[in-house]
Structure 1
Amino acid sequence: MLSEGETIRSTEPFRHDGGPVGVLLCHGFTGSPAALRPWAEHLAALDYSVELPRLPGHATSWQDLNLTGWPDWYRRVERSLLDLAERCPQVIVAGLSMGGCLALRLAQEHGPLVQGLVLVNPVVTSADRRLKALPLLRLLRPSAAGLSGDIAMPGQDERAYDRTPLQALYSQTKLWELVRRDLAMITQPVLLYRSVNDHVVDATSAPVILSGVSSTDVTEVLLQRSYHVATLDYDAPTILEGSAAFAERVAKKNRGLTP
């Protein structure tokens, strides 16, 4: 058990001051920056400015996460977005799982600051019927079995919790509702990666997002060899290289249109 304030090894936030195009990376629920660290380092090596924050309640204990909610996680990524926007005339926001949901919310509320979205197995809904019991269940028990470690490649570790805090999960579902309601506000280019075999996020979220946004520049890429944490899996090179190319394309398209 970690002592108060102690963090799980290798889960530090990442920041890199690079060129004029910034990329904000948002990790997932119960996860940590470790799941996106190779992605962040790849972008930094290409001279992008990069922010990869650690969300409140993450990388310490699941009990800590149960004391937070989606407004806390959102405020953290919002601060990173505003910081990047001060340094970079163009910003791409990317996220894994719930991080994708947070990315969508940032684009909804800060549209002019977000030039594009890269979403990896994003979640905004679920067909899991057990969630219907969540409003009551969260009052009766603090946690359930964990959702971590859904990676096909052996030897990978996303440094996530082995329990799912139910009060925090309930809060996440409230964020889903807001994001689904406002999907039509999304007009930015969207690049969505979806694992064909995902044992955490079911197949319902991607179609909801793709049919709900108002964007005309939308691409879905299917990942055949990876599970949920695709950023640490066999298809990670596809994500790293594809997202960098996407950022470059979007930046070139918008160059000269933003002050």
Structure 2
Amino acid sequence: MNAGPERVELPGGKIGVLLFQAKNQDWASAISAQTGDFVLSISTSARDIFVQARKEFLHLQTRCETIFVASFGEGAMAALSIAQEFGDEVSGLILIEPVITSDERALRKNYQQVSENLDLIEHPLLLMYSIGETGEEFSQAQEIAENVSSAYIREIVLNDQMTSTTVEETILFMKEVEFGFWPATNEVDDDTELIDAEFESIVAGLSLDQASPSNFLDNLDLPDPDEHFIEPNPALAPIHDRTKRNAIFAMIGGPIYALAAGVTGFNPLGVEPWPGVLAFFGGLAFFLYSLRDDYTDEDGAIL
């Protein structure tokens, strides 16, 4: 095992790629040649790879404005540790055939710490892996995808480790992030915050918590001041209008007179029951006429 990591620096522009690789210089050279970006590649064979990774990232920050972290195989753990430590200073994470286990006893503690904090990864993430015969590589890639907090994850299944495919997908991913197609998760849109605040306000108003006496559900139990029900009085109200009183008297007395004239032969006027009949209909007509004002409004129009 080498005493120190093998280091290859390919100078370029303001975009940098920190690559943790396992003897795969073709990929680094292709990225540098096709994009003109600054590529810093270090081997993953050193025991102090996590310490060296941090050192190289800080060095790359002095040379570039935007930094992507990429890895092949076992370099995934070093790439993940950098993303966890530096947060939004990393623009995106590219993991090719990631391996998140190690037989090296000296690295187990670091590997365990990185694995337990995968939820700290909130960066745009590009995962490229092959299914393989055992499916182990697939399962490790899925473990990463299921435990990170990234809102933007792209998974590419490889038929084999074709350099051309991984290079093309990486360049496309970097350009999409650079032009804002994959915004960082810490850049929360103001409209989203406003919508969340309004939603929380509505939920608070509809709360079922009985400790709050003024919520919406409690107000439903209060009587509506605009709606009143007047209980009817079973006692007959006195009739103060003299015309109505006379009309009612005629409607009552008329039938009694007609009945008495027809049954008993009572006929003081000589016209038999007709006075009673006329009194009834006359009283009814006067009574209805007296109610006419109740069906008019203030301007006299009939409703």
Question: TM (normalized to structure 1)?
Answer: 0.63
Could you say if the C-alpha distance between residues 245 and 202 of structure 1 is closer, same or farther in structure 2, counting changes exceeding 3 Å? Answer: closer
Q: Which sections of structure 2, spanning at least 5 residues, go unmatched?
A: 185-303
Which amino acid in the other structure matches residue 77 of structure 1?
A: A
Aligned to 2:63: 87
| Larger relative contact order, structure 1 or 2 (CA cutoff 8 Å, min sep 6) | 1
Could you say if the C-alpha distance between residues 74 and 20 of structure 1 is closer, same or farther in structure 2, counting changes exceeding 3 Å? Answer: same
Q: Which has the larger radius of gyration?
A: 2
CA distance in 2, matches of 1:185, 1:12: 29
Could you say if the C-alpha distance between residues 250 and 96 of structure 1 is closer, same or farther in structure 2, counting changes exceeding 3 Å? Answer: same
Q: Which sections of structure 1, spanning at least 5 residues, go unmatched?
A: 59-64, 127-165
* Same amino acid, percent of matched pairs: 29
Q: Which runs of 4+ in 1 moved over 3 A?
A: 198-203
> How far did residue 15 of structure 1 move?
0.7
> How far did residue 20 of structure 1 move?
0.9
CA distance in 2, matches of 1:123, 1:26: 12
CA distance in 1, matches of 2:180, 2:77: 25
Partner of 1:87, secondary structure, is: coil
Aligned to 1:248: 175
CA distance in 2, matches of 1:207, 1:89: 31
CA distance in 1, matches of 2:130, 2:153: 17
User: Which structure has the highest helix share of the two?
Assistant: 2
Say whether residues 1:118 and 2:94 are aligned partners: yes
Corresponding residue to 2:83 among 99, 102, 107: 107
Aligned residues: 183
Say whether residues 1:43 and 2:19 are aligned partners: no
Which amino acid in the other structure matches residue 90 of structure 1?
A: T
Answer yes or no: is the 8 Å Cα contact 2:9–2:40 preserved in 1.
yes
CA distance in 2, matches of 1:206, 1:48: 27
Aligned to 1:236: 163
Deviations 1:80-130 (CA, angstroms, capped at 9, x unpaired): 11111111111000001111111011000111221100001112248xxxx
CA distance in 1, matches of 2:51, 2:133: 28
Aligned to 2:123: 188
Question: TM (normalized to structure 2)?
Answer: 0.55
Could you say if the C-alpha distance between residues 191 and 78 of structure 1 is closer, same or farther in structure 2, counting changes exceeding 3 Å? Answer: same
Answer yes or no: is the 8 Å Cα contact 2:68–2:91 preserved in 1.
yes
Partner of 1:245, secondary structure, is: helix
